[in-house]
C-alpha cells in the first residue's frame, strides 16, 4: 500500500525526493503519515481537499484485498 501511495504522490509533486511516508500499524488499521515539501503541500491536498480525498478513496479501494483499513494523514 505504501508503494501505491508513493507512486500517486510522485506524480503530483515537484520534489519527489522529499516524500516521506511513515507506516503505523495497529490491529485493524494502518495509519500512513505523508510528509512532502512545503511548496508541494497544496498540490497534494488540492482545492477544498479534493485531491487528498481522492487519494483516500483509492487507498480504501485497494485496502479491500489487504483486509485492513488504511488511513492517510497529511502532515506539514
Q: What is the CATH number of the domain that holds 17?
A: 3.30.300.20
Q: Which residues pair with 21 in a beta bridge?
A: 34
What would the pLDDT profile of 32-69 be if each residue is shown by its tens digit? 999 999 999 999 999 999 999 999 999 999 888 778 89
Q: What are phi and psi of 12, to 5 degrees?
A: -95, -35
Residue 6 pLDDT exceeds 90: yes
pLDDT at 45: 95
User: 70: domain range?
Assistant: 2-75
pLDDT at 76: 85
Q: What are phi and psi of 34, to 5 degrees?
A: -105, 125
Buried b (16+ CB within 10 A) or exposed e, 40-72: beeebbeeeeebbeebbeebeeebeeeeeebbb
Among the listed residues 17, 9, 59, the one whose alpha carbon sits nearest the alpha carbon of residue 34: 9
The mean pLDDT of 25-31, rounded to a whole number, is 92
Q: What is the number of structural domains in the chain?
A: 1
Model pTM?
A: 0.88
Amino acid at each position: 500500500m505504501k508503494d501505491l501511495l508513493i507512486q500517486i504522490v510522485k506524480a503530483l509533486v515537484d520534489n519527489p525526493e522529499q516524500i516521506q511516508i511513515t507506516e503505523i500499524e495497529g490491529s485493524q488499521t494502518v495509519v500512513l503519515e505523508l510528509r512532502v515539501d512545503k511548496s508541494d503541500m497544496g498540490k497534494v491536498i488540492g482545492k477544498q481537499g479534493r485531491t487528498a480525498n481522492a487519494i483516500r478513496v483509492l487507498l480504501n479501494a485497494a485496502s479491500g484485498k489487504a483486509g485492513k483499513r488504511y488511513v492517510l494523514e497529511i502532515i506539514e
